[in-house]
Every structure is written in structure tokens, then in C-alpha cells.
Amino acid sequence: MKISQADKVYKVESKLRAKILDRLMEEEDALSFMEDVLQKEKIKIPSRVEFFSSYGKSILLGKIIYDETCLMFRFNVWGLYKTVILHEIAHVIAGLEDGHGNLFCYIFSELIKTYIPEAYPYLLALYEKNKIKWN
Ligand SMILES: [Zn+2]
């Protein structure tokens, strides 16, 4: 069975989380981290930003839904991590049509380099080891 790039990406990110300490304990910490990244990356923040926790079964750790008017970030209460927020923001920058493709993986790596620099070499090693196309 062929493993999809999305599955490889999830595997790599879970290994990354096991290696680094990027858990955010409070929702306010997560919200301010997210707003900080959106601002620094010059992502136009829509008029409505919703950030809420969920036990929803449809999401693994986080999910982002957005258009020009609203940016909605849902996350599972047990899984609030910087890497999850950066993952969702990478989707915003890459565009949803790229899915977990090369562009997405490249953008995610650049966000990691900027916001969790100590994790960057480890991420590249994991990309290599799992044969993820990212550049
Ligand atoms: Zn994703």
C-alpha cells in the first residue's frame, strides 16, 4: 500500500512534537502565538477570527477554515501545539489546493525555521528519512 504524502507529513510532525517542547498550555497563549505569526507573515487577517477548542472527531489535532471574511481555527483540546498552529498557517499561505504537497511542506519548514528554529534541523532530517518532497 502506498503511503500518501499527507500520512508522511502527519508522521513527521508527530515525531517532531515528541522531540521538542512546543505544547501550549493555555488557549490565550495559542491565540497570541497565532496572531503573532499571522502579523509577522503579513497575512491579511480577515474581519472575523474565530479560535476555538473542540472534541470534534473530524479533526486530528487542528483544522483551519478561511476566506476573505473569516478565519476559523479549531483545535482539539488535548493537542494544542505550536507545530499544529504553524501547520494550519502553512495551509493558508500555500493555498488549500496544494494539500500537503511540496509547496506546503516547504512553507511549513520555513515557518519552523523562523518560529521554532531549534526544531528545523530535525525536521529536515525527518523529511529526508521519510522521503518527503519539500523543495
Ligand atoms: Zn493539513
Q: pLDDT by residue (tens digit) across 80-95? A: 899 999 999 999 899 8
DSSP state of 60: S
Taking the centre of ligand 1 as the mean of its atom positions, its distance from the CA of residue 10, in whole angstroms, is 8
Residue 16 lies in a domain: yes
Q: How many domains does the chain have?
A: 1
Residues 51-74 have a mean pLDDT of 77
Question: What does the pLDDT look like over 12-52, one tens digit per residue?
Answer: 999 999 999 898 888 889 889 998 999 999 987 777 778 87
What is the number of other CB atoms lying within 10 angstroms of the CB of residue 105? 23
Residue that wins the pLDDT comparison between 35 and 116: 116
Residue 69 lies in a domain: yes
- Cβ pair 16, 122 in contact under 8 A: yes
Domain that holds residue 75: 5-129
> Which CATH number goes with the domain that contains 22?
3.30.2010.10
Q: What pLDDT is recorded for position 56?
A: 59
Taking the centre of ligand 1 as the mean of its atom positions, its distance from the CA of residue 60, in whole angstroms, is 9
Give the confidence band of 58 by pLDDT, cuts at 50, 70, 90.
low
Residues 55-61 have a mean pLDDT of 65
Residue 134 lies in a domain: no
Q: What pLDDT is recorded for position 128?
A: 96
54: pLDDT strictly greater than 80 = no
Residue 45 lies in a domain: yes
pTM, two decimal places: 0.89
Of the candidates 34, 32, 22, 44, which has an alpha carbon nearest to the alpha carbon of residue 93? 44
Q: Where are the beta strands (DSSP E) in the chain?
A: 48-54, 62-66, 70-76
Residue 135 lies in a domain: no
Residue at grid coordinates 478565519: 71
- Cβ pair 45, 67 in contact under 8 A: no
Taking the centre of ligand 1 as the mean of its atom positions, its distance from the CA of residue 8, in whole angstroms, is 11
